[in-house]
Amino acid sequence: MKKIVILISGLGSNMQALLEAKLPCEIAAVISNRADAQGLEIAKAHGIATAVVAHRDFADRASFDAALAKVIDGFQPDLVVLAGFMRILTDGFVGRYQGRLINIHPSLLPAYAGVNTHERALKDGVKIHGCTVHFVTADLDNGPIIIQAAVPVLSNDTPATLAARVLHEEHRIFPQAVRWLCGEQRWLDAQGRIASNRLEQVGTTLISPGLD
Q: What is the pLDDT of residues 107-149, one digit of tens each?
A: 999 999 999 999 999 999 999 999 999 999 999 899 999 999 9
Which amino acid appears at position 73 of this protein? D
Domain extent at residue 98: 3-196
**205 assigned to some structural domain:** no
Lowest mean pLDDT among 127-136, 145-154, 175-184, 187-196: 187-196
Peptide bond preceding 110 in cis form (omega within 30 of 0): yes
Does the pLDDT at position 76 exceed 90?
yes
pLDDT tier, 190 (very low <50, low <70, confident <90, very high otherwise): confident
The stretch 83-95 carries a mean pLDDT of 95
Is there a catalytic annotation at residue 105? yes
Residue of 55, 105, 118, 171 with catalytic role: 105
**34 assigned to some structural domain:** yes
C-beta atoms surrounding 156 within 10 Å? 5
The stretch 202-207 carries a mean pLDDT of 80
Q: In sequence order, what DSSP letters do the residues of 113-175 get, joined into one string?
A: -SS-HHHHHHHHT-SEEEEEEEE--SSTT-SPEEEEEEEEPPTT--HHHHHHHHHHHHHHHHH
- Give the single-character DSSP code of 179: H
**76 assigned to some structural domain:** yes
**202 assigned to some structural domain:** no
Does the pLDDT at position 202 exceed 80?
no
**204 assigned to some structural domain:** no
pLDDT of residue 207: 87
**101 assigned to some structural domain:** yes
Does the pLDDT at position 206 exceed 90?
no
Does the pLDDT at position 203 exceed 80?
no
Calpha distance 52→158 (Å, rounded): 34
**Closest CA relative to residue 136, chosen from 173, 169, 90:** 90
CATH for 79: 3.40.50.170
Does the pLDDT at position 199 exceed 90?
no
pLDDT over 90 percentage in the chain: 86
**43 assigned to some structural domain:** yes
pLDDT of residue 8: 98
**Residue 130 to residues 41, 52, 116, 170: CA-CA distances in angstroms?**
29, 31, 13, 8
Q: Are 6 and 84 in contact (CB under 8 A)?
A: no
**60 assigned to some structural domain:** yes
Calpha distance 105→1 (Å, rounded): 27
Number of structural domains (the chain) is 1
Pairing label, strands 128-135, 145-152: antiparallel
**Closest CA relative to residue 132, chosen from 113, 160, 153:** 113
Q: pLDDT tens-digit profile of 43-68?
A: 999 999 999 999 999 999 999 999 99
The stretch 158-168 carries a mean pLDDT of 98
pLDDT of residue 167: 98
Q: Are 46 and 67 in contact (CB under 8 A)?
A: no
pLDDT of residue 187: 87
The residue that leads in pLDDT, 205 or 21, is 21
**Closest CA relative to residue 84, chosen from 67, 99, 65, 106:** 106
- Cβ partners under 8 Å of residue 183, min gap 6: 24
pLDDT tier, 4 (very low <50, low <70, confident <90, very high otherwise): very high
